[in-house]
Structure 1
Amino acid sequence: MSEYRPLTTREIETLEKQGCFSNEWNNIEVKDGFDPSFVRQTAFSGKIRLGCFRRSFQFAGGVTKHSGISNATIHNSIIDDDVYISQIRNQIANYHIESNVIIENVDSLTTEGKSCFGNGEKVAVLNEAGGREVPIFNELSAHTAYLLAFYRHRPMLIEMLNNMVDTYCQNICSEKGTVKSGARLLNSRTILNVNIGTDAIVEGIYRLVNGSINSSREHPSYFGPGVIAEDFIATSGSTVTDATLISKCFIGQGCTLGKHYSAENSVFFANCQGFHGEACSIFAGPYTVSHHKSTLLIAGYYSFLNAGSGSNQSNHMYKLGPVHQGVIERGSKTTSDSYLLWPAKIGAFSLVMGRHYRNPDTSNFPFSYLIENKDESYLAPGVNLRSVGTMRDARKWPNRDKRKDTRKLDYITFNLLSPFSVEKMIKGKETLIKLKETSGATSEYFMYNSVKIEAKALERGIFLYDIGIIKFLGNGLMKKLESEAFSSIEELHEVLKPASGEGTGEWVDMAGLIVPKEKVLELVEKIEKGKVKTFTEMNAIFGEWHRNYYTWAWNRGYSMFQSALNIDLGTISKQELLDFIEDWKNAVVNLDKMMFEDARKEFTLKAQTGFGMDGEDEIRNVDFEQVRGAFEKHPAVCDILEHIERKKTLASKISEKIKSL
């Protein structure tokens, strides 16, 4: 039995007295408890269902307004309990307005024909000319998008994933849009074929067409003044405001786009930020950040990127149009006015400074500086390992996770040193040694993939990669030795053995999620064979990978001891173990001391230039200290010193434990 009933004659008379109009009052149904006194100056057409209006809402300045409908045209819509609708200049047509929604001073809220509300729109990432399209939908994760964009060599996978998207869209498409409970639509103009999620706020927008603003009670989304967006999907906790222009984009959880940002054919995943600049055909993995005017990110894949002011790339290398693409691996930075000519590939946690025209590939040299000198690209391998800024970045990312939704779409591995980055360091070290052997020890510089590496930089790179490798492998070993119980060297050998062979091969960074490549290929085969049929199943698998990171990372680390350091943990002696613990302690302390000295540069006399405006040295020093603080008390410096003492203590503790065997 329906909870709705036809209007009574008395209710119709009351509505007409209050300026309401309908050609077919018989097409309007209401709930028991409906009070017509709260509906005024409203024209109804098509099939209408109205709930009860019992509650009041608080507005800015302490103004109270009772739920109901006034000064509106409503066509073919369902309006649930306790909704406030007022000042609709054109119409609300073909919508389901759920309970506790406020819609005030809106030009039009309309669904025309059958719409998927942005779901299924194909976004031309990386290659403007097409070929890597990612179909966007409400449940899209960075990892699913990664497969869609980068696994084109598996056409069956792409076909199956696209079929899954099509099936998903069939369940979304409707001739009626939805405004979910608790949403607020205020002072806005045209909204056409847009679904609006729970508790979302849409305020002062200019035009929204064919999209979904997904939202949640834990983390509402916000679309603010001046925004124009079309063919888009936004997820919970996303913010788009300040006259931002969006076309064919996916906006992930916790993302913020504002201050006149412009983005087209791009996907942004968890915690990205875009202000002032422009994005065109980019795959922005988690924490891709661009804050400045004149910054163009184009046809590239990024994650954990910090793009400096005026950073640009070009995807026109020859004459066949914008068909080139680039990759800047996780954690990299581009300085002000930097430039890269695609195609190019930049290694993880690298710094790009200057202009680079020769299509460099530094992917096997993470933690490096790529610097321009007289139109040539110079590489300084590994030097970012000793940068205090690198440490600061690694610590700030988890703290800057804005996502409050209990259900997260993207799984993020924050670790600075991981099987992914350490594999690259091992390859980088081997490459540097090989360059030295083949080119001769007397060479002033070495060429590799269009970049110059000076002899001094090569030697330093080998040294720094050695330290980084030992630190990573030692971190995993020390964690095992600290947490596991053993009373003999034989028992120690047993507890160190991997529980399985999973993760012992190559690892990849899957748009923020660092996983064994074998696991990715297993999933690909399951999808191709129809064993994984829904995105819910896929996201559950991504979650399982994330939970197993440390187990699989140890499996990989165990095998790396043999391949990279020639240490067999299955037969290691007490003395060999004690020697390695000492090497690990020295590696950690040496890196920390390098960071300490790097931090000190921020407190030199040169750094104090511009302080003490109207005084001499003493006033400058006091002014600097009042603004920047004392070097010894800076949080980053204190963290380094505490880390050194903590690791020294751990090394001593574990060494004593080994000696007692």
Structure 2
Amino acid sequence: MRPIRKDSMTALGYNFITSEYIPEGKDEYYCRNEQNGNKTYRQLKPNEIQLLIANHNLSDNWKNVMVTDTFNPSFVRNCNFYGLVRIGDLEEFFLEYHDMRFPVGLYNSTIVSCDLGNNVSLNNVNYISHYIVGNESILFNISELQVSNHAKFGNGILIKGEAESLRIWMEVSNENGGRRILPFDGMLTSDAFLWSKYRNDAELMERFVELTESKFQRQRGIYGTIGEQCVLKNCQIIKDVKIGDAAYIKGANKLKNLTINSNFESPTQIGEGVELVNGIIGYGCKIFYGVKAVRFSLGNNSSLKYGARLINSILGENSTISCCEVLNCLIYPGHEQHHNNSFLIAATIFGQSNIAAGATIGSNHNSRANDGEIVAGRGFWPGLCVSLKHNSKFAAFTLLAKGSYPAELNISLPFSLVSINERDDVLQIIPAYWWMYNMYALARNSWKYSVRDTRVIRYQEYEYDYLAPDTVEEIFEALHMLEKWILDDQLRKNEIESAANNGNKTGKEILLNKKIKQIEILGGVIEASSRKSIILKPSAAYESYHEMIHYFAMKTIIDHAKTHKLADLQQIYSRLHHGKRSKWINIGGQIITENHIQELKNNIKSGLIKNWDQVHEYYQYQRRFYEQQKAEYAFAALLDLHNIVNFDGLSIHWNQLIERSVEIAKKIRSRTFDSRNKDYMNEFRKLPYDNQEEMEAVLGKINDNEFIKTIESDYEKFVVGVEKYRIVPKIISL
């Protein structure tokens, strides 16, 4: 414990920056003056000082209390001033917020070396030190509000004179710190992914530190700021916190070393019992009711509620965590976790995800050490009471049925349902389960995250569609794996009689021409266990994967043709045929080709990209070309899927490809309706209701469902759009 230091009262409020850290020709207020602009203040008049003293105010030196011309000393009572205090206009107004009315002025407060904006209301602020407070802000019942001369406001930088050991890191994705990154105001989940993923590139890691260090001022003596029209009330400790405009903070226990981004279009709110330390909070965030967060970053438009614990973690934009515990995680935008008895530890989750009650994802209690990780593609949905073991990896839109999974898993088949058959002691997987049996939930996943993306501040645009280049490329890989596994399985079972008779038979032919009920896979391939894994309904899944690729390709191509007013197949081919399939990487919700990620890394290392703003400009640049790149990829995927090599081959089959896409679109429409309609037709679902009218009053009529209407509209638009590009046979007159 540090001993209490005793000093002269004449030093209170002064020497905020010690002499060795003050540049030549500057004074201890130079940072403050740069922050607060060139505002005009004057010294107090004798009659004003007399009135202030009569109103039980105290100052160590009234010459250091500076005011504007529109200053009314009647609105300053029972206050103590130390150091240089500058006060803006005080006029005969009150400020109202949520039915509470606060008189403009300074009352019952101790103010140390602060700049106070026009018509602020400070009441019962026991101690405020080295803050710049914006116009018309309300500060009411605050125990401690101060800034140290080495404040970093949550950024992972070092102030001049500080040792490296004082740097704040965030240990994301892994509890051993091997993927640690430096937090900074403006950091995107894409930045965090690049930093945490490519650890083998030492030069890139060094550059990331340099980019972060260069982003911020590192001199001592930066003042804390509270923006305009903020409301801070009934709070205990606020230290080294930077607060944007229009923020609402009430009943917080402790806020320390934070940047709280907020503005009038996207205000941030922090509520009762909250304790936040070492963090960056995005615009439009809501943090309420006993939340504890330490070493964290919260993306724009996200929420922490009801006792959630977020430690050494990044939560992406448009996400909500309630009640539960999240440690050492990197979570992409669009994450939902609402249950007190669930936790998520040492994981990288690619967004559009939902963690059910009782799920224990990534506990090191079922592993030998704290260096394990969970990596899950977007759409990850572990069901009730799912327990997983490090290290495990999951393809996009993996659904895990209730159960304790005792061994590491490598689920590389997207859109799968994974479950444990306890009777036979096998792991079971139904590939393409969402597509075949729960189309409503699958399609609605993409729709709802798009609709809920109400960000006003948008640094990056995200891919929410469940069929996109990243997931489609996973589907292609899944097709190859199914083909290989069916051959391996049937060879083991001697169902392929001999190489002479069946040597040319491929896995594709077997899956398409034979109704295979299941594929057995030996232990150690999908699960780190000696027990077998079973692929159920492989033929149906194989066909479904083909449908998904075909529909994605045709829809993307036709949408592109409509957007760019392409007249016919010839123009489509001319515009898109140069594209090739490639690997796409989901970096923080935006998907970019692997080649372009490599280009970005090279540009950072070479110095061509000099700061984080330019990194973000690169994301935006790639986004501008995404629609074209996506269409080129879709065209290449269509050709690969159907083994078409040139325009002549494509034109011969083009009308059939159109008809097939319409059939699939019709299937999507009907399956979406049917999977939702089950909730209306199932007799057990009807048990709470005495009649149909009561059920519809509670659930609404299915035909009034907004999402069902959206799917119907999308189907009609697709059919109309695709028919415009049908090749009409030429009629040759005799």
Shorter-normalised TM range:
over 0.9
> 2:603 aligns to what?
526
Cross-structure match for 2:281? 234
Inter-partner Cα distance in structure 2 for 1:172 and 1:69: 31
**Counterpart in the other structure of 2:698:** 627
**Deviation for aligned residue 1:545:** 1.6
> Structure 2 vs 1, CA of residues 639 and 218 (structure 1 numbering), >3 Å: closer, same or farther?
closer
Would the alpha carbon gap of residues 345 and 574 (structure 1) be closer, same or farther in structure 2, given more than 3 Å must change? same
Label 1:85 to 1:525 Cα distance change in 2 as closer, same or farther (>3 A).
Answer: same
- Residue in structure 2 matched with residue 417 of structure 1 by the alignment: 467
**Residue 539, structure 1, aligned to residue 616, structure 2:** yes
The aligned length equals 648
| Deviation for aligned residue 1:317 | 6.8
Letter in 2 for 1:532: I
CA distance in 2 between counterparts of 1:372 and 1:357 reads 10
Give 1:533 shift: 1.2
- Aligned runs of 1:560-571 on 2, under 5 Å? 560-568=637-645, 570-571=647-648
SS in 2 for 1:440: helix
Indicate how the Cα distance of structure 1 residues 259 and 456 shifts in structure 2: closer, same or farther if over 3 A, else same: closer
User: For residues 7-46 of structure 1, what are the structure 2 equivalents within 5 Å?
Assistant: 7-46=44-83
Contact 1:69/1:85 (<8 A) preserved: yes
| Conserved 8 A contact 1:482-1:654 | no
The whole-number CA distance in structure 2 between the counterparts of 1:56 and 1:593 is: 62
Matched, 1:549 2:626: yes
Amino acid at match of 1:235: G
Residues 576 and 632 in structure 2, CA contact (< 8 A), matched pair in contact too = no
**How many Å separate the matches in 2 of 1:426 and 1:318?**
33
Aligned partner of 2:355 in structure 1 is 307
| 2:573 is equivalent to residue 493 of structure 1 | yes
Unaligned runs of 5+ in 2: 1-37, 157-167, 496-515
Contact 1:413–1:546 (CA under 8 A) maintained in structure 2? no
Q: SS at the partner of 1:131?
A: coil
How far 1:594 sits from its partner (Å)? Answer: 3.0
Give the partner amino acid of 1:425.
I
Distance change >3 Å, CA 285–CA 493, structure 1 → 2: closer
Shift of 1:32: 2.4
| 1:320-357 superposed Cα distances (whole Å, 9 cap, x missing partner) | 53110001110121211111111101111121112222
TM alignment of 1:242-321, pairs within 5 A: 242-302=289-349, 303-316=351-364, 321=369
Contact 1:259–1:275 (8 Å) recurs in 2? yes
* Aligned counterparts of 1:455 and 1:343: Cα–Cα separation in 2: 21
Contact 1:270 1:410 survives alignment (8 Å): no
3-state SS of 1:299 partner: strand
Post-superposition CA distance 1:182-232 (Å, at most 9, x none): 211111111111111111111111111111111111101011111011111
Does structure 1 residue 326 correspond to structure 2 residue 374?
A: yes
What is the deviation of 1:648?
A: 3.4
Alignment of 1:653 with 2:733, yes or no, is no
The answer to which structure has the higher strand fraction is 1
Distance 1:63 1:642 in 2: 47
CA distance in 1, matches of 2:686, 2:567: 59
CA drift of 1:28 comes to 1.8
Distance 2:572 2:628 in 1: 17
1:445-524 alignment, distance < 5 Å? 445-447=519-521, 448-450=525-527, 454=534, 456-483=536-563, 490-491=570-571, 493-498=573-578, 504-524=581-601
Q: State how far apart, in whole Å, the 1-side matches of 2:450 and 2:270 are.
A: 25
- Calculate percent identity across the aligned residue pairs: 22
What is the Cα deviation at residue 586 of structure 1? 1.9
Whole-angstrom CA distance in 2 between matches of 1:569 and 1:589: 29
**1 CA distance for matches of 2:200 and 2:374?**
18
Matches within 5 A, 1:315-464: 315-316=363-364, 321-353=369-401, 354-363=403-412, 365-374=413-422, 376-386=426-436, 387=438, 388-405=440-457, 408-440=458-490, 444-447=518-521, 448-450=525-527, 454=534, 456-464=536-544
1:615 aligns with none
- Over 3 Å counting, the alpha-carbon distance change for 1:377 and 1:174 in structure 2 is farther
SS across alignment from 2:375? strand
What are the ranges of 5 or more consecutive residues in structure 1 without an aligned counterpart?
A: 613-618
State yes or no: 1:585 paired with 2:633: no
Structure 1 letter corresponding to 2:115: I
The structure with the larger Rg is 2
Q: Please give the secondary structure, in 2, of the residue aligned with 1:119.
A: coil
Whichever residue aligns with residue 113 of structure 1, its letter is N
Tell whether 2:102 aligns with 1:53: no
316-325 or 150-159: which moved more? Answer: 316-325
Partners of 2:377 and 2:394 within 8 A in 1: yes
DSSP-derived class of the 1:423 partner: helix
Task: Decide whether the 8 Å contact of 1:411 with 1:542 is kept in 2.
Answer: no
Q: State the TM-score, normalizing by the size of structure 1.
A: 0.93
Query: Which deviations, in whole Å up to 9, do the C-alpha atoms of 1:421-466 show, x marking residues without a partner?
Result: 0000011011101111122175953224228554642212211101
- Which residue of 130, 146, 149 maps to 1:110? 146
Tell me how far 1:278 sits from its aligned partner: 0.9
Match status 1:3 vs 2:37:
no
Q: Say which of 150, 155, 160 aligns to 1:119.
A: 155
2:128 to 92, 95, 110: 92
Q: Is the 8 A contact 1:126 1:281 kept in 2?
A: yes
Does the residue aligned with 2:109 lie in a helix, a strand or coil?
strand
Q: Matches of 1:658 and 1:79 in 2, distance apart?
A: 78
- Compute the displacement of 1:489 (Å): 6.2
Aligned equivalents of 1:630 and 1:64: distance in 2?
A: 46
Do 1:56 and 1:64's aligned partners in 2 also have CA atoms closer than 8 Å? no
Segment drifting more, 131-140 vs 584-593: 584-593
Cα distance in 2 for partners of 1:146, 1:418 equals 20
Cα distance in 2 for partners of 1:658, 1:548 equals 35
Higher alpha-carbon deviation: 167-176 or 273-282: 167-176
Cα 1:283–1:106 shift into 2, 3 Å: same
How many angstroms apart in 2 are the aligned matches of 1:329 and 1:254? Answer: 22
Quote the offset at 1:123 in angstroms.
Answer: 0.8
CA distance in 1, matches of 2:179, 2:703: 50
Residue in structure 1 matching 2:103, options 66, 84, 88: 66
Residues 105-254 of structure 1 aligned to structure 2 (within 5 Å): 105-120=141-156, 121-170=168-217, 174-254=221-301
C-alpha RMSD over aligned residues: 2.4
CA pair 480-118 structure 1, distance change in 2 beyond 3 A: closer
- The one-letter code of the counterpart of 2:483 is I
Distance between the aligned counterparts of 2:46 and 2:570, measured in 1? 91
Letter in structure 2 aligned against 1:592: R
